[in-house]
Amino acid sequence: MRNKTNDYLIDREMQRTVNFPGILGIGEQDTACQETMGPIYDRTKEHLGSADSAIIHMRRVLLRLAKALEDGQEPAAAHEAGAYKVRSASAVLPRNVSWLEGAKARLKADSPYVTA
């Protein structure tokens, strides 16, 4: 099991020759990034560019929601539990099947394809 205590089983040869993280699996790479972030970074030293527009937008949304919450306005998303039942997924589909239809079942949290 890859985790922080075993350094996510980083493979240094893989890191040199295959992928930068050297960790097998996107989920494990994400977990490693999240669990090893360290102290909060001083954002005044950041240099965000056009490739970071999603980060910039999300921070603006979060700041707006935080200010609204301070003013007593609860975020609408707090009452939309169904919005959190969507998950990422991958699927190999026949060419004649639309990805929207073919992957629909895999994107629901209560899908038989999702394991606990």
pLDDT tens-place string over residues 26-57: 888 888 888 888 788 888 888 999 999 999 99
Q: Range of 21's domain?
A: 1-38
**Cα-based angle 74, 78, 79 (whole degrees, multiple of 5):** 105
SS3 62: helix
Q: What is the value of pTM for the model shown? A: 0.45
94-110 pLDDT, tens digit each: 889 888 888 776 666 56
Q: What is the mean pLDDT of the chain?
A: 84
Residues 73 and 93 in one domain: no
Residues 84 and 69 in one domain: no
Residues 32 and 50 in one domain: no
The structural domain count of the chain equals 3
The token pair that represents 92 in the structure block: 């190999």
